[in-house]
Amino acid sequence: MKGLFTALIVSYDKDGEINEKGLREIIRYNVDVCKVDGLYVNGSTGENFMISTEEKKQIFRIVKDEVKDQVELIAQVGSINLKESIELAKYATDLGYGALSAVTPFYYKFDFEEIKHYYNEIINSVDNKMIIYSIPFLTGVNISLEQFAELFENEKIIGVKFTAGDFYLLERMRKTFPDKLLYAGFDEMLLSAAVLGVDGAIGSTFNVNGQRAREIYELANKGEIAKAREIQHETNDFITELLNNGLYQTLKEILKEKGVDAGYCRQPMKELSEEKVDTAKRIAATYF
């Protein structure tokens, strides 16, 4: 399960319904053009927290049907509805997903014992593996080194998607848990994480920028830091423009410029203005 995984974008039509044809085109672009090692399905980038349980199942099913066994698949099943998480864990496992992931339960101020119970309940309900999705700046949930050690007492919990800027904690985790999988979650910090020895990365910008991410990761692993730094600079120029214009909407516009029916974002996310669509086209022409 090592390598680069795209946090998969999902194509929705103007009414917010899943566009299966467009989703399949996004999948093919990631596998055939971006050449990623795997797909991380139904995460934040797929607008997961704005869709129903049945829609999540539909996306899991389409992705598996399109990919077959070409690349690795990780199913993000996390929810503050534990019953839904378990239902999705069973569904994705039955489909043949190689691993599960779950965001830390959010909104309510769950204590660590509640968080630990959540992860154990999900992964102990299936014959599969769990990757914790830690993204404190969105969830407000910080997990300490000692708490990660407690979670890892369950041997089915095999790693972490580490979407945080605490690189001291990341370094401590790499040293303390050499046999666990650590994935970088911030695309703009991929080089820094690679230098610390992560096992891969999971990124939203990999939907279009997967080839640069591959160069950064492989150059870092070969110790060619100066070359990797230049590509990270270029990547971060791209990411800065992307964030300024609207992250998910602009990624979809770039894919459209590449002939991919990437569709629209679900409300309450808004459509890009004509000016921002023009900016997205310029970004696509500049970087791709």
What 3-state DSSP class applies to 285? Answer: helix
Which residues participate in the annotated binding site for pyruvate? 45, 202
The pLDDT value recorded for residue 70 is: 98
pLDDT in tens, 86-143: 999 999 999 999 999 999 999 999 999 999 999 999 999 999 999 999 999 889 899 9
> Which residue of the set 133, 183, 248, 264 is catalytic?
133
Domain assignment present for residue 246? The answer is: no
Are 206 and 185 in contact by the 8 Å Cβ rule? The answer is: no
Is 133 a known active-site residue?
Answer: yes
Are 27 and 40 in contact by the 8 Å Cβ rule? The answer is: no
- The CA distance from 231 to 37, in Å, is 20
Is 161 a known active-site residue?
Answer: yes
pLDDT in tens, 15-50: 999 999 999 999 999 999 999 999 999 999 999 999
pLDDT in tens, 244-267: 999 999 999 999 999 999 999 999
Domain assignment present for residue 270? The answer is: no
Which residues participate in the annotated binding site for aceneuramate? 44-45, 163, 185, 187-188, 204
| Torsional sign, CA 215, 219, 221, 226 | negative
Domain assignment present for residue 100? The answer is: yes
Domain assignment present for residue 161? The answer is: yes
Nearest-CA neighbor of 63 among 34, 87, 96? 96
pLDDT in tens, 172-214: 999 999 999 999 999 999 999 999 999 999 999 999 999 999 9
The pLDDT value recorded for residue 63 is: 98
Helix axes 247-257, 225-245, angle to 10 degrees: 100
Assigned token pair, 267: 């409300």
Which residues participate in the annotated binding site? 44-45, 163, 185, 187-188, 202, 204
- Looking up residue 153, the CATH number of its domain turns out to be 3.20.20.70
Domain assignment present for residue 18? The answer is: yes
Mean pLDDT of the chain: 97
> Which residue of the set 116, 161, 180, 252 is catalytic?
161
The pLDDT value recorded for residue 47 is: 98
Domain assignment present for residue 151? The answer is: yes
Domain assignment present for residue 253? The answer is: no
Nearest-CA neighbor of 104 among 69, 131, 73? 131
Domain assignment present for residue 264? The answer is: no
Provide the number of structural domains found in the chain: 1
Q: What does pTM read for this prediction?
A: 0.97
Question: What is the domain extent for residue 200?
Answer: 3-222
With a CB cutoff of 8 Å and minimum separation 6, the contacts of 46 are 7, 8, 9, 10, 59, 76
Go through 128-158 and write b for each residue having 16 or more CB atoms within 10 A of its CB, e for each that does not.
Answer: bbbbbbbbbeebebebeeeebeebbeeebbb
The pLDDT value recorded for residue 43 is: 97
